[in-house]
Each structure stands twice: as C-alpha cells, then as structure tokens.
C-alpha cells in the first residue's frame, strides 16, 4: 500500500488538481503523448502534474483545460485552485503552533464537499466543544500557549459545518467515545448535548455504533474520508496516529475504506435511535 505524502497544504491541492487533470484527459480520450504534442509541454512534466508532484502555472493549466474542452466556469474553479496550490508561507512569517498534519487536514476540509468519518476514540475534532478539546490537548507535554493555539484551531475547523455552503458530514461514533469521560462529567454532558444538537442540522448525519454491534470493519481505528466537488473521482483517507498522520489516495485503498464505511452505517443505530441513545447515556453517566 502506498501512502499519500503531504508536506504542506499546497501539495494537497496539487494532488486534487492532478487527479482531475487525469480524469479530464481520459474523458477526452487522449494519451499523455498526444497532449504533449498538442500543448508543447513535455510528457514527463504532464506526468508530474497529474501525480501532484509539481506545481504548474495558470497559463499551462489553461492550455491543458482548453485541450480537454473544459467550460469556462469549471476552468475558473480549477485555475483558482492552481493559483492557491502555488502559495507558500511568506518569508519571515512565523509557523503556526498547530500540529503539522492537522494543517494539511484543515486545507482539505475547506475544499471538501463531503466528509465521512468513523470515530472509535476520541470524539471527532469537528464536533468537539472547547472544554472537551482543552481536556484532550492538555494531556501531553505541550505548553499552555501551544495548547491554546491547538484548541482554537480545532474549534475553527467546525466552521465548515455551517455557513451558506456547509460540507456534508456523515459520522459514525462508537459507543466507547461517549463513555470515555474526557474532562469529567460536566464536560461530557456538555459535549453530548452539543453533538445531539448538531445532529439536527440537515447537512449532518450522526449515527452511534453500539458495543452490542460486536466486531466491525473499523476495528483498526478511526478514519476520515474526504471528497471534493472540483475532482469528483478523487478521495483522500486521513488517519492520524500518535506521532503523525497518513493520507491515502490510491483508488484501490480509498475503495476499501468506502466499503468499510458502508458496512458500518448499516451496523450503526439509525439517526433517531442514535439521538435517543446519546441522551439516555448522558443521563445515566453524566447527570
């Protein structure tokens, strides 16, 4: 299995652009060598653009999109993404204290049209209250300032769930997440009330996977699957671990996580039953 290496946000955008360029070329029934002849762009450069290894200029992107017959509206969207993919942190600007893999995830979440998540432990970052986030992030050896930066960054991520064009978010939360008393009873009561309220939003689907479901396809741990409107056939699986994170985007790998997710939503409680379960558990454990 091959993992997706994303050293920074712009590289993540290049992978999305590359996947869409490849899809458009194949839809136009053209081989790379044909496009190279038509565009005057070296074939090895085209390969690097499609794999997301190299950034391209807007004139090069515009030339390719014209060859592929892309309409003006989609061209404008892709060219904006191309421009953003070349951005770098200004010289002298301080690097954020936020954990580096999360910087990449934030960039992906902003561009996603759909986020599917499975949480085995802890509560998904997009759903955490301030008190819960602070209790989680305060467990390590980070200084108070760094913890605070990370807490505020985690809370800011939730902006994608609201606004005029919120992301579609479908999350399966294991019962163990609800039972683990992070921050104590008061913090957990607030946290469970928060997710119960969020679950009422039309763009959010929340299901609980109870302990009684038994063995399941996410026994290896939590994961997030992101899809993007600009590249509908491209998906990224995000998995974090103690010292870093993995980004998987090989189609065969993504398909396996798609299958695992479909299996889990069938095993999980319905939305209505999940809401009743959350309220009942909160009363039993945290009232």
Residue 128 and residue 23 share a domain: no
Q: For residue 201, name the pLDDT band (cuts at 50, 70, 90).
A: very high
Residue 139 and residue 44 share a domain: no
For residue 242, the domain's CATH number is 3.30.870
Q: Which helix (H) or strand (E) holds 276?
A: helix 271-286
**Stated pTM of the model:** 0.80
Share of the chain above pLDDT 90, in %: 60
Residue 93 forms part of a structural domain = no
Residue 269 and residue 157 share a domain: yes
Residue 177 and residue 130 share a domain: yes
Decide which of 85, 111, 140 is a domain's last residue: 85
Q: What pLDDT is recorded for position 261?
A: 96
Residue 262 forms part of a structural domain = yes
Q: For residue 140, name the pLDDT band (cuts at 50, 70, 90).
A: low
Decide which of 61, 85, 109 is a domain's last residue: 85
Residue 255 and residue 222 share a domain: yes
Q: For residue 273, name the pLDDT band (cuts at 50, 70, 90).
A: very high
Q: For residue 16, name the pLDDT band (cuts at 50, 70, 90).
A: confident
Residue 92 forms part of a structural domain = no
Residue 249 and residue 118 share a domain: yes
Whole-number Å distance between alpha carbons of 122 and 136: 9
Residue 3 forms part of a structural domain = no
DSSP string, 34-53: HHHHHH---HHHHHHHHHTS
Residue 79 and residue 134 share a domain: no
Q: Pairing mode, if any, of strands 244-248 and 231-241?
A: antiparallel
Residue 165 and residue 137 share a domain: yes
Decide which of 62, 85, 108 is a domain's last residue: 85
Question: What tokens were used for 93?
Answer: 């600007």
Residue 108 belongs to domain spanning: 100-286
Residue 113 and residue 18 share a domain: no
Burial track 231-256 (b if 16+ CB lie within 10 A, e otherwise): beebbbbbbbeeeebbbbbeeebbee
Burial track 147-164 (b if 16+ CB lie within 10 A, e otherwise): bebbbebbbebbebbeee
pLDDT (tens digit per residue) in 215-239: 999 888 999 999 988 887 789 999 9
The answer, yes or no, to whether residue 95 has pLDDT greater than 70, is no
Q: What pLDDT is recorded for position 170?
A: 98
Task: Read off φ and ψ for residue 6, nearest 5 degrees.
Answer: -125, 95
Q: What pLDDT is recorded for position 160?
A: 95
Question: What tokens were used for 280?
Answer: 């009942």
Residue 224 and residue 112 share a domain: yes
The answer, yes or no, to whether residue 197 has pLDDT greater than 60, is yes
Residue 250 forms part of a structural domain = yes
Question: What tokens were used for 185?
Answer: 């009873």
The answer to whether residues 284 and 181 touch, using CB atoms and an 8 Å cutoff, is: no
pLDDT (tens digit per residue) in 236-259: 999 988 777 888 888 889 999 999
pLDDT (tens digit per residue) in 45-75: 999 999 888 889 999 999 999 999 999 988 9
For residue 29, the domain's CATH number is 1.10.260.40
Please give the average per-residue pLDDT across 261-275, as a whole number: 97
Residue 151 and residue 225 share a domain: yes
Question: How many domains in the chain?
Answer: 2
Residue 60 and residue 126 share a domain: no
């Amino acid at each position: 299995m091959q993992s997706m290496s994303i050293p920074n946000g712009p590289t993540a955008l290049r992978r999305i652009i590359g996947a869409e360029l490849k899809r458009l070329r194949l839809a136009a029934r053209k081989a790379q060598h044909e496009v190279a002849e038509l565009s005057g762009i070296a074939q090895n450069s085209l390969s690097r653009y499609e794999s997301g290894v190299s950034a391209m200029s807007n004139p090069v992107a515009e030339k390719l999109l014209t060859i592929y017959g892309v309409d003006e509206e989609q061209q404008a969207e892709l060219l904006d993404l191309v421009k953003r993919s070349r951005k770098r942190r200004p010289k002298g600007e301080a690097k954020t204290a936020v954990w580096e893999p999360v910087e990449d995830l934030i960039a992906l979440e902003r561009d996603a049209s759909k986020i599917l998540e499975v949480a085995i432990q802890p509560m998904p970052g997009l759903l955490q209250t301030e008190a819960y986030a602070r209790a989680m992030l305060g467990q390590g050896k980070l200084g108070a300032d760094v913890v605070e930066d990370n807490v505020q960054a985690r809370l800011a991520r939730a902006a994608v769930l609201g606004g005029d064009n919120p992301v579609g978010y479908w999350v399966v939360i294991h019962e163990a997440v609800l039972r683990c008393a992070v921050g104590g009873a008061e913090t957990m009561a607030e946290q469970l009330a928060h997710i119960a309220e969020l679950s009422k939003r039309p763009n959010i689907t929340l299901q609980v996977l109870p302990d009684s479901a038994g063995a399941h396809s996410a026994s290896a741990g939590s994961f997030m699957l992101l899809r993007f409107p600009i590249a509908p056939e491209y998906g990224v699986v995000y998995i974090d671990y103690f010292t870093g994170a993995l980004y998987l985007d090989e189609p065969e790998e993504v398909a396996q996580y798609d299958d695992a997710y479909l299996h889990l939503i069938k095993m999980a409680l319905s939305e209505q039953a999940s809401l009743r379960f959350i309220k009942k558990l909160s009363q039993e454990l945290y009232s």
